[in-house]
Structure 1
Amino acid sequence: MMNNAIEVRALRVRRGGNLVIPKLDVTIPSGSVTGLLGPSGCGKTTLIRCMAGIQITESGHVTVLGGPAGSAVNRARVAYVTQSSSVYPDLTVRQNLDYFAALCGGSDADVVRALEAVGLTDRGGALTGELSGGQRTRVSLAAALLADPDVYLLDEPTVGLDPVLRRDLWKLFNDLAADGRTLLVSSHVMDEAGRCDRVLLMRDGELIADETPDGLRRDAETDDLEQAFLVLAERTAA
Structure 2
Amino acid sequence: MIQSLLEPDRRRAPAGDPAIIARSLRVNRPDGAVLDGVSFEVRQGTVTGLLGPSGAGKTTLLRTIVGVQQVNAGTITVLGHRAGSRQLRSRVGYATQEPAIYPDLTVTELLEYFAAVLGCDDGRVDEVIATVGLDEHSRIRVDRLSGGQKARANLAVALLGSPDLLVLDEPTVGSDPRLRRELWSLFDRMAADGATVLVSSHMLDEASRCGQLLLVQHGRVLAQDTPANLRARTGTDNVEEAFLSLTEGSS
Whether TM-score is above 0.5 comes out as yes
Q: Aligned with 2:26: secondary structure? A: strand
Residue number among 25, 43, 53 corresponding to 2:67 in the alignment: 53
Q: Normalised by the size of structure 2, how large is the TM-score?
A: 0.91
Alignment deviations for residues 155-201 of structure 1 (CA, whole Å, 9 cap, x no partner): 11111222112111111111111111111100112111111010011
Residue number among 1, 11, 14 corresponding to 2:28 in the alignment: 14
Greater fraction of residues in helix: 1
Q: Which residue of 1 aligns with 2:100?
A: 86
Please tell me whether residue 210 in structure 1 is matched to residue 240 in structure 2: no
Number of equivalent positions: 237
Q: In the alignment, is the contact (CA less than 8 A) between 2:22 and 2:76 conserved in 1?
A: yes
Q: Normalised by the size of structure 1, how large is the TM-score?
A: 0.96
TM-fit CA distance, 1:17: 4.0
Q: Aligned with 2:160: secondary structure? A: helix
Q: Which residue of 1 aligns with 2:244?
A: 230
Gaps of 5+ in 1: none
Please tell me whether residue 137 in structure 1 is matched to residue 148 in structure 2: no
In structure 2, C-alpha distance between the alignment counterparts of 1:71 and 1:177, rounded to whole Å: 23
In structure 1, C-alpha distance between the alignment counterparts of 2:214 and 2:187, rounded to whole Å: 17
In structure 1, C-alpha distance between the alignment counterparts of 2:137 and 2:206, rounded to whole Å: 26
In structure 2, C-alpha distance between the alignment counterparts of 1:174 and 1:134, rounded to whole Å: 22
Q: Which residue of 1 aligns with 2:52?
A: 38
In structure 2, C-alpha distance between the alignment counterparts of 1:225 and 1:25, rounded to whole Å: 22
Gaps of 5+ in 2: 1-12
In structure 2, C-alpha distance between the alignment counterparts of 1:212 and 1:92, rounded to whole Å: 40
In structure 2, C-alpha distance between the alignment counterparts of 1:208 and 1:57, rounded to whole Å: 20
Residue number among 78, 82, 89 corresponding to 1:68 in the alignment: 82
Return the letter of the residue paired with 1:60.
G
Please tell me whether residue 189 in structure 1 is matched to residue 172 in structure 2: no
Please tell me whether residue 156 in structure 1 is matched to residue 156 in structure 2: no
Return the letter of the residue paired with 2:191.
A
Return the letter of the residue paired with 1:128.
V
Q: Which residue of 2 aligns with 1:124?
A: 138
Q: Provide the aligned C-alpha RMSD in A.
A: 1.2
TM-fit CA distance, 1:38: 0.9
TM-fit CA distance, 1:108: 3.0
Alignment deviations for residues 12-60 of structure 1 (CA, whole Å, 9 cap, x no partner): 1112442111111000100111000111110000101110111111100
Q: In the alignment, is the contact (CA less than 8 A) between 2:95 and 2:157 conserved in 1?
A: no
Please tell me whether residue 29 in structure 1 is matched to residue 79 in structure 2: no
Counterparts of 1:171-186 in structure 2, within 5 Å, are 171-186=185-200
In structure 2, C-alpha distance between the alignment counterparts of 1:89 and 1:77, rounded to whole Å: 25
Q: In the alignment, is the contact (CA less than 8 A) between 2:94 and 2:166 conserved in 1?
A: yes
Please tell me whether residue 168 in structure 1 is matched to residue 182 in structure 2: yes
Greater Cα shift, 224-233 or 3-12 = 224-233
